[in-house]
């Protein structure tokens, strides 16, 4: 802070001095810059004719003004009669000794000071440019930063839910602390560790934990910090980074998002002359070339291992690839407990229940869930965070923020209610679907309504039976619209369902071998290679006839799913009407409330007023809904159930 203040002060001082000097240089009253150079003969003639008003004599330099106000200068030889001639003509004569007003060094300094100030200002501005490690002339300097204990120290105690990955990295830390334990048996420390996993699973957190545990220098840099617009900068920064590592060995270098610099060579449109590829080549040489980098351990993180160059992944460079997956139910519980340490919890909060209700959540999702719950409780003025805040936070994370300010017409609400009711009904009545967690017609995020399903447990694969059930679920909303309002009145709200169903059906046909006609063959153009360049050199490996057959099989799957969903809804038209009416009345229904409606049971909801002590009576049951607990009747004008 003090250094920045000093730099800014020096800059302003230089600017002010420069302005003052420029102002002084261009003053119109400066005699020396406005004076006319006269030959000595003309000067003598002017004196004889009485046209000279005053003169200043400084050795051989004579300056003065004519009677018309014109300033002049001339050089006078050794003329003994000059002074008497001037006095005879009544000219005012002023005599000055040579260089009486200052040091000659100071005079030269003042003459050159504008140029010196400009040069100094240029150097100062160039040093402040954020290029090349903070210096414009240091393009090749590495941007790797050394972490210290003051920068938010994290230990392995702060890492939970990824025990296998943590144990792999704990071994590296142990090797750095006690290398003799491994080297006495001939073992060598791994040169590199690649952390692979989806976004938000804790790869960077693991690296920070290593920095907190290892007690060795820890350098961190992003993969995008290597390549700039100048040729050779990336390779130079790689060399400088490893030079810093060698000087600080044993040490750890962490490269986050290494896929920014480590992608396949020859994949870009520039061929092998790509600057990024030159950077990668230098990194390959530094990691395992002729010169050894003993004591320098490279740890990198990526969520795109499929795009990395094979030479980067071989043993000797990245000896270990540690997968950091999304946590299972036990891991989610551990992560929740870590993030709940600093949150005052109510007595009804159970991390096990929250963990079971958040399958597929990553560590970052769970951290966001706890934070959102704390913010909701603080917004309501509570002193502790209760289970209700965690439920509301989960809905906000999964479905988006409620947009109650969005005004929908009654027709749109009715259309949305039947659409979401169709999804919910098909989900409950179709075997193989996940249990319905909640249905709502309150706009959330970019959707006007939604039905959220949560799996009962962690799932790592899907059967064909479940894939078909998910297609039926996706078609339930549009099928309900067509049954109730007619084919000509369906709306655009099913666009997301149609896209999801199309993508799933296409993958069933082209990737998962679930088409009887096309068989177990992988078709398509390898959709995994999505980055620019690598897919340019690839062509589709299917013929036009096969592509038409794929489209026909996809359409066949979707049409069959739509037919099944439509038939199911027609067979249970009364339940569909009851669900839609309940959604219009309550706007949001839980999974249990939906099942109560389908069983013909009333929805039991305790009003807020009945929870107050002065209104509570032991003999009076809680208020049941807004309709007095009666089953919700079908909407007027509803289509009769076909016999």
User: For residue range 420-429, what is the model confidence (pLDDT) as tens digits?
Assistant: 999 999 999 9
Percent of the chain residues past pLDDT 70, beyond the cut: 76
Is 198 marked as a binding-site residue?
A: yes
Task: Provide the 10 A C-beta neighbour count for residue 577.
Answer: 22
**How many Å separate Cα 449 from the centre of its chain?**
28
Over range 157-171, report the average pLDDT.
84
Q: How far apart are CA 417 and CA 587, in angstroms?
A: 8
Retrieve residue 109's tokens: 């300094």
Q: Flag whether pLDDT at 341 surpasses 80.
A: yes
Residue with the two structure tokens 């669900």: 579
Is 502 marked as a binding-site residue?
A: no
Decide if 505 contacts 554 (C-beta within 8 A).
yes
For each of the domains in the chain, give its residue range(s) and CATH number, in order of start. 32-95 (3.30.720.210), 145-265+275-323 (3.40.50.300), 329-398 (1.10.8.60), 410-452+459-522+544-599 (1.20.58.760)
User: Can you give the pLDDT at residue 136?
Assistant: 46
Q: How far apart are CA 221 and CA 254, in angstroms?
A: 6
Helix (H, G, I), strand (E, B) or coil at 146: strand
* pLDDT tens-place string over residues 241-274: 888 888 887 888 888 888 888 888 776 555 445 6
* pLDDT tens-place string over residues 114-139: 777 777 777 766 665 544 444 444 55
Q: Flag whether pLDDT at 195 surpasses 80.
A: yes
User: Can you give the pLDDT at residue 612?
Assistant: 40
Reported as a pLDDT band with limits 50, 70 and 90, residue 32 is very low
Beta strand 251-256 pairing with 218-222: parallel
User: Can you give the pLDDT at residue 56?
Assistant: 86
User: Can you give the pLDDT at residue 20?
Assistant: 62
Q: How far apart are CA 193 and CA 171, in angstroms?
A: 12
* Average pLDDT of the residues of the chain: 78
Q: How far apart are CA 595 and CA 581, in angstroms?
A: 14
Q: Give the DSSP letter string of 214-242.
A: H-S-EEEEEGGGS--SSTTHHHHHHHHHH
More confident residue, 86 or 637: 86
Tell me if the bond preceding 465 is cis, omega within 30° of 0. no
DSSP annotation of 287: H
Q: Give the DSSP letter string of 66-95.
A: ETTS-EEEEE--S-TTHHHHHHHTT-EEEE
Closest CA to 409 of 448, 459, 380: 448
Retrieve residue 310's tokens: 């094979």
Is 423 marked as a binding-site residue?
A: yes
- Out of 213, 391, 420, 581, the active site residue is 420
Closest CA to 71 of 50, 87, 89, 56: 56
Interior CA angle at 593 toward 592 and 598, to 5°? Answer: 95
Percent of the chain residues past pLDDT 90, beyond the cut: 23
Is 204 marked as a binding-site residue?
A: yes
pTM (2 d.p.): 0.65
Reported as a pLDDT band with limits 50, 70 and 90, residue 417 is very high
Active site (annotated) includes residue 420: yes
Residue with the two structure tokens 């499929």: 306
* pLDDT tens-place string over residues 146-158: 665 555 577 888 8
Retrieve residue 81's tokens: 């009669």
Exposure of 444 by Cβ count < 10 A (0-12 exposed, 13-18 middle, 19+ buried)?
Answer: buried
* pLDDT tens-place string over residues 505-556: 999 999 999 998 988 988 865 544 443 344 444 456 788 898 899 999 999 9
Q: How far apart are CA 109 and CA 32, in angstroms?
A: 18
Q: How far apart are CA 420 and CA 431, in angstroms?
A: 18
Over range 484-493, report the average pLDDT.
91
DSSP annotation of 447: B
Cα-only R_g, the chain: 41
Is 513 marked as a binding-site residue?
A: no
Q: How far apart are CA 501 and CA 522, in angstroms?
A: 19
- Indicate the helix (H) or strand (E) that contains 353: helix 351-356
User: Can you give the pLDDT at residue 207?
Assistant: 83
Is 202 marked as a binding-site residue?
A: yes
Over range 175-200, report the average pLDDT.
84
Interior CA angle at 514 toward 509 and 517, to 5°? Answer: 75
Is 203 marked as a binding-site residue?
A: yes
Range with the poorest average pLDDT among 2-16, 34-48, 169-183, 455-469: 2-16
């Amino acid at each position: 802070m003090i250094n920045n203040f000093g730099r800014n002060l020096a800059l302003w001082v230089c600017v002010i001095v420069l302005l003052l000097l420029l102002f002084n240089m261009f003053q119109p009253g400066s005699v020396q810059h406005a004076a006319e150079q006269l030959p000595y003969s003309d000067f003598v003639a002017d004196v004889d004719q009485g046209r000279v008003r005053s003169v200043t004599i400084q050795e051989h330099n004579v300056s003065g003004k004519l009677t018309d106000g014109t300033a002049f200068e001339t050089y006078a030889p050794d003329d003994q009669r000059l002074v008497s001639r001037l006095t005879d003509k009544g000219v005012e004569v002023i005599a000055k000794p040579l260089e009486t007003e200052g040091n000659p060094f100071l005079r030269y300094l003042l003459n050159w000071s504008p140029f010196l100030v400009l040069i100094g200002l240029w150097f100062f501005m160039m040093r402040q440019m954020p290029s090349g490690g903070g210096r414009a002339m240091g393009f090749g300097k590495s941007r790797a930063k050394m972490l210290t204990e003051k920068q938010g120290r994290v230990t392995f105690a702060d890492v939970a839910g990824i025990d296998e990955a943590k144990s792999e990295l704990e071994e590296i830390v142990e090797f750095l602390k006690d290398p003799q334990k491994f080297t006495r048996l001939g073992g060598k420390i791994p040169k590199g560790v690649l952390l692979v996993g989806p976004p938000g699973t804790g790869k960077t957190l693991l690296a920070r934990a290593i920095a907190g545990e290892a007690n060795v220098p820890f350098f961190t840099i992003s993969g995008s910090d290597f390549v700039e617009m100048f040729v050779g900068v990336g390779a130079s920064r790689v060399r400088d980074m490893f030079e810093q590592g060698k000087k600080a060995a044993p040490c750890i270098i962490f490269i986050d998002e290494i896929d920014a610099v480590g992608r396949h060579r020859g994949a870009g449109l520039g061929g092998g002359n790509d600057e990024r590829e030159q950077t990668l080549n230098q990194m390959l040489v530094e990691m395992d070339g002729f010169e050894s980098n003993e004591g320098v351990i490279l740890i990198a993180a990526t969520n795109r291992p499929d795009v990395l160059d094979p030479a980067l992944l071989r043993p000797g460079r990245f000896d270990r690839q540690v997968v950091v997956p999304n946590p299972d139910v036990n891991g989610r519980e551990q992560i929740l407990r870590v993030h709940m340490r600093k949150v005052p919890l109510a007595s009804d909060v159970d991390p096990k229940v929250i963990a079971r209700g958040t399958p597929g959540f990553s560590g970052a999702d769970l951290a966001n869930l706890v934070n959102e719950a704390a913010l909701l409780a603080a917004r309501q003025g509570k002193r502790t965070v209760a289970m209700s805040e965690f439920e509301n936070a989960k809905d906000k994370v999964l479905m988006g923020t409620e947009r109650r300010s969005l005004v929908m017409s009654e027709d749109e609400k009715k259309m949305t209610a039947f659409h979401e009711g169709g999804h919910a009904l098909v989900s409950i009545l179709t075997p193989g679907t996940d249990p319905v967690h909640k249905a709502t017609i309150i706009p959330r995020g970019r959707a006007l309504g939604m039905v959220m399903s949560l799996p009962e447990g962690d799932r790592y694969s899907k059967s064909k039976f479940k894939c078909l059930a998910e297609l039926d679920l996706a078609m339930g909303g549009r099928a309900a619209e067509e049954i109730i309002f007619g084919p000509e009145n369906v709306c655009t709200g099913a666009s997301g369902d149609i896209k999801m169903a199309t993508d799933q059906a296409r993958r069933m046909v082209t990737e998962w071998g679930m088409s009887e006609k096309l068989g177990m063959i992988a078709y398509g153009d390898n959709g995994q290679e999505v980055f620019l360049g690598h897919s340019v050199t690839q062509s589709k490996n299917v013929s036009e006839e096969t592509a038409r057959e794929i489209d026909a099989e996809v359409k066949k799957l979707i049409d069959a799913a739509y037919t099944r969903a439509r038939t199911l809804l027609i067979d249970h038209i009364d339940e569909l009407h009851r669900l839609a009416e309940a959604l219009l009345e309550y706007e949001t229904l839980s999974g249990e409330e939906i099942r109560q409606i389908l069983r013909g049971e009333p929805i039991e909801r305790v009003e807020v007023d009945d929870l107050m002590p002065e209104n509570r009576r032991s003999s009076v049951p809680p208020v049941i809904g807004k309709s007095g607990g009666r089953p919700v009747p079908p909407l007027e004008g509803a289509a009769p159930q076909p016999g």
